[in-house]
Amino acid sequence: MLYNRSSGILLHPTSLPGRFGIGDLGSSAYAFIDFLVESHQKIWQVLPLGPTGYGNSPYLSYSAFAGNPLLINLEWLVSEDLLSEDDLNHLPQFSEHQVDFDLVIAHKMPLLRKASHNFKQTATPERKEAFEAFCQEHGYWLNDYALFMALKEYFQDKTWNNWEADIAKRDPTAIARYTELLKESIFFHKYIQSEFFRQWKSLKEYANQNEVYIFGDLPIYVAHDSSDVWSNPQIFRLNKETGQPSWMAGVPPDYFSETGQLWGNPVYNWRNLARTNYRWWIQRVKSMLDYVDIMRIDHFRGFEGFWAVQEGEETAMNGRWVKAKGEPFFQLLRDELGELPIIAEDLGVITPEVEALRDKFGLPGMKILHFAFDSDRANPFLPFNYTNRNCIVYTGTHDNDTTVGWFDKRTEEEKARVVDYLGAIGYDGIHWSLIRLAMGSVANIAIFPLQDVLGLGSEGKMNTPGIATGNWAWRYHAQDLTDDLKAHLGYITYLYGRKNS
């Protein structure tokens, strides 16, 4: 898949249209796949699919393995008599333009709890057997995750290191006691995970049957307040007394930030990971590849060396570079999986050592056209500088403004640099001009946010990095995917040789 000339769309499932305030895995997801097929797209790229906490960022999840229950389609549950039509008739009037996460959570989670209760009472023996099989197959992460989420509720959403000391430090007696005390809540969290993955598996099978491939996204770091850190503290750099990160992830000061970026995630204890033959990481990658066809690793450079900032610092200025053990990890991963269907997010300050690690394992890198026009002719994002086909070109990513918004905010001089390179802006607008530029490049794969295909301005922006709230909320309307749009995208895909991959 990675070596065929093709193209696709970046769209997180929360952005799908529908009646329940947030995109989900129901009919609109299948309709989107139909749109991809009819416009000759081969790839659907999504953001991380895990359950989100404060800020609703898919890059800060309660688990590196679990799915987001807000994506479960409620009509599917009605069709199996786990909910009634009446249950769905008393929901508020949700916005069709934006996700109001608080409102969605307040109304959807009680319905999922009702479905869980009804499942426990009325499910057929076959469905219960399938549920038990799911729990057994995924027990290596599911048991800890379900207990973690039940404990989060019990301790009124406190971070795990502020729970009672015995359970925060995973005393076996405490685990046994809370597992019994919270068994109903634990069952609920296992049930909604089984439902998420059942619906996701059905959707992925539909995509693959139609020769559409799912492109997933894996953040290198996990949230401190996650089941991963609570249940595997030995593979993270934590303060043994407080449970806080003793070394935090981030990036150093650069042209864009005088103080750098301090993310707050705990960095990995690579020495302890090596002692286990990277078992947690290999489980994580294998688990994800059960549900996607290819995957991007965010902040790939952290596998070669990472910026670590000591506990107590308030900015990233006083960190230091620490070598990671990416080469032995990827070697072991390739020994187990063969050819790696992995893309390296190689943006930012990338050293020759990072490039060597990427190239040793044949991992495609990323090219972003929004970054191509503001330096000299050696800019690596300019298409004539792509040294081989083994890369993926984007107009922009989820962290960029839309192409229309990006161009509108440029000065006249900056706009002129873009127009000079393009020769002219096409009759169909700057967004299609950049889509054509990407399509015509030698890159094996070209990906575009749906917002660019729709020609949206900054109102369609998905995320503003560095701002914790107000992101991830954009949704499109079903009527946006017109026959004319489908035909235009399909023709350009054909025109630049990406149709018959």
230 phi and psi, to 5 degrees? -60, -40
CB 236, CB 280: distance < 8 Å:
no
CA dist., res. 348 & res. 305, Å (int) = 13
CA dist., res. 241 & res. 245, Å (int) = 11
Structure tokens at 232: 């595997």
80 is catalytic: no
Distant-in-sequence contacts of 346-349, Cβ < 8 A, 24+ apart: 346/300, 346/301, 347/371, 348/251, 348/254, 348/301, 349/251, 349/254, 349/301
CB atoms within 10 A of CB 334: 15
Backbone angle region of 243, left / alpha / beta, with phi > 0 → left and psi within -120 to 50 → alpha: left
CB 402, CB 458: distance < 8 Å:
yes
399 is catalytic: yes
Single out the catalytic residue among 217, 228, 298, 401: 298
CB 275, CB 329: distance < 8 Å:
no
Query: What amino acid is encoded at 23 in this protein?
Result: G
Single out the catalytic residue among 144, 345, 401, 452: 345
Residue 465's closest CA among 176, 300, 261, 281?
261
Tokens 């549950």 correspond to 77
In angstroms, what CA-CA distances link 292 with 60, 128, 358? 19, 26, 21
401 is catalytic: no
Contacts with 104 (C-beta within 8 Å, 6 or more apart), sequence order: 20, 21, 22, 70, 94
Collapsed DSSP state (helix, strand, coil) of residue 230: helix
Contacts with 141 (C-beta within 8 Å, 6 or more apart), sequence order: 63, 64, 65, 66, 227, 283, 287
Collapsed DSSP state (helix, strand, coil) of residue 368: strand
Single out the catalytic residue among 80, 87, 164, 399: 399
315 phi and psi, to 5 degrees? -130, 175
CB atoms within 10 A of CB 92: 11
Residues belonging to the active site: 298, 345, 399
